[in-house]
Structure 1
Amino acid sequence: MKPYSVLVACQLPEAVERDLASALDVDFMPDARQRPVAELVARLDGRDALLLLAMTPADAALIEALPASVKAIATYSVGLDHIDLAAARKRGIAVLHTPDVLTDAVAETALLLLLGAARRATESIDLVRSGAWQGWTPTQLIGVELSGKTLGILGMGRIGRGIAERARAFGMTICYHNRSALPPDLAKGAVHHADAVEFLGAIDALAIACPLTEATRGFLDAERIAAMKPGAIVVNIARGPVIDDDALIAALQSGHVRAAGLDVFTNEPKLDPRYLNLGNAFLLPHIGSSTVESRRAMGRTLIDGFAALAAGRNPDNRVV
């Protein structure tokens, strides 16, 4: 069976590129984002698929311009909001992504964010690195414990459930807000709240793990933040635009939100600069899936998807 011919329009970890090259007919274009779209389209002529990153939009104009040879678009991400799925469907182009393999890495990052926010990690690191630390005192940088607190999870999919599993080990009670309740074997005792305001008022910390959709865009706005308990913590490992930055920054400044742990931002990497002046904002540069294990698994998931398409089968990681 002839391997899929793929234009890899991004730079990937060396091990992943080796995996792709050993299984596929690949053409690497690591600087694709800096090149004209016409050049990208020309390089795709005669190839079966385009592999890109979440930061590279595959809008209707690009999809309509793709050569007739292109049968698939693959994204090295779980998120799909950068791809016009309707345009791909119209052209009959399959869309592949990398679900499931990121659960552990992203869930672990959520707990890192939660702990960093709760225990004032930004201020602590700054104190040590600045050389200003004068030694232990009983009043220094007092945070809060996770044990005995209620964690609310917005989006109880695989990653949300992975966060819940880890948070239980810290002695936290779990509740969640989804469009519908999970079956008991998946909920594992987590309490479902159908009403968003009721949900937010019942929790001590919020972990955002939902997809970015029109329903979730701007979900955490001023009104909903006001419904949260004073001193609550906010963590986001989903997508930046789920949070209204103006509202969260105001709440961090006032102390209504005790602290936030953020791995994703609107307009990243150009995040709102006001976050940088907030000691109670624990910030990471979108490293949720940045582990050796998950990076290799993401590549292998796409390789398996391409192999299935080449064999005339429907890949498990196909969304269109």
Structure 2
Amino acid sequence: MAGPDLLLATPIPAPLRAALAERFTLHEGDPPPGIRAVVGGGAMKIDAALLARLPALEIVAIHGVGHDRLDLDALDARGICVTTTAGALTEDVADQAIALMLAVQRRVAANDALVRGGGWAAPLGRRASGRRIGIFGLGRIGHAIALRAAPFAGALLYCARAEKPVPWHFVPDIAALAEASEVLILAAPGGPETDRIVDAGVLDRLGPDGVLINIARGSLVDQDALIAALAEQRIAGAGLDVFAQEPNVPEALRTRDTVVLAPHQGSATGEGRAEMRDLVLANLDAHFAGRPLPTPLIRPVSHDARPGR
């Protein structure tokens, strides 16, 4: 017997797709009006126009934690549930942030390419320990990054919506955080509030010895400003797992050996993806059985962390 109609809004891993196919009637592309559930990655877009075509929709299950392309107000107005896989990817994304931080400062990728090409004499790297490390966003992932970064840090600072009961130094806005930091790690959600919040001014405050690490969303960074700051050596380097127009990465970033690049791999471990799959299924199973959702999306109270606010 066919299960409820479910729309796959983005590509998803094969194991999750197979498990969904056992429970639901899967659809892709142009959706029929009987769709009751939507599943997709954090980059999926659900706006009012799509919702108007889905009168029977009850739940959106995100395979990830990103939700900046969802019209949450329109979903709330319809009473449609939204779930994420919060918690399942925290440790892996935090590991990726530290890996990028070390790789940039110790020239891991550049030196690997040098040796593979038969070379040996390499430029000096930078000491990774004792740096002032700033983290923009102290949710689950930001907190996990902070725990990992603390042993490296000469000082550990953070900017969040409000000060938290943690042993690290609170900074009220990202411009001040950049100025006080030598390594700036981005771990905040995407969306209008943080769109291109790392602009030329913030990069200038980070300074010529500063390193930018982004495991959050490409939308947080003014990518053209970043390219200019790297080319003019107004910052020392960057480690990037996310980009403005994925999977398109500008040549100016691909060819600069002070930049370490990854293809949005923060949560890409076998263990993490298995936990994410299980959470998507658990949320859907709970919804259709009338049970409480394991990981519903909780919308934070809005506070602006832009410079000067």
Q: If the length of structure 1 is used for normalisation, what is the TM-score?
A: 0.85
Offset of 1:217 from its aligned partner?
1.0
1:121 aligns with 2:99: no
Deviations 1:203-228 (A, max 9, x none): 11000000113221111111111112
1:101 aligns with 2:88: yes
Alpha-carbon contact 1:9-1:28 (below 8 Å) kept:
no
Match of 1:78 in 2: 65
Deviations 1:177-227 (A, max 9, x none): 1121111xxx2x211011433221111100000011322111111111111
1:255 to 229, 233, 256: 233
1:177 aligns with 2:159: yes
Distance in 1 (alpha carbons) for counterparts of 2:275 and 2:172? 34
Match of 1:66 in 2: 54
Identity of aligned residues (%): 33
Matches within 5 A, 1:6-21: 6-21=6-21
Alpha-carbon contact 2:216-2:242 (below 8 Å) kept:
yes
Matches within 5 A, 1:129-208: 129-131=116-118, 133=119, 135=120, 137=121, 140-183=122-165, 187=166, 189-208=167-186
Deviations 1:130-185 (A, max 9, x none): 33x0x3x4xx22111221111100001111111111112335531101121111xx
Offset of 1:314 from its aligned partner?
3.5
Distance in 2 (alpha carbons) for counterparts of 1:156 and 1:55? 21
Q: If the length of structure 2 is used for normalisation, what is the TM-score?
A: 0.88
Q: Unaligned 5+ residue runs, structure 2?
A: 299-309
Amino acid at match of 1:78: V
Query: How many matched pairs?
Result: 297
Distance in 2 (alpha carbons) for counterparts of 1:129 and 1:105? 28
Match of 2:201 in 1: 223
Alpha-carbon contact 2:137-2:187 (below 8 Å) kept:
yes
Alpha-carbon contact 2:131-2:154 (below 8 Å) kept:
yes
| RMSD, aligned CA | 2.2
1:266 to 236, 244, 249: 244
Offset of 1:271 from its aligned partner?
2.6
1:287 aligns with 2:272: no
Q: Unaligned 5+ residue runs, structure 1?
A: none
Alpha-carbon contact 2:82-2:297 (below 8 Å) kept:
yes
SS of match in other structure, 1:212: coil
Offset of 1:55 from its aligned partner?
3.2
Amino acid at match of 1:278: R
Distance in 2 (alpha carbons) for counterparts of 1:107 and 1:63? 34
Amino acid at match of 1:287: Q
Match of 1:54 in 2: 42
The runs of at least 4 aligned residues of structure 1 exceeding 6 Å deviation read: none
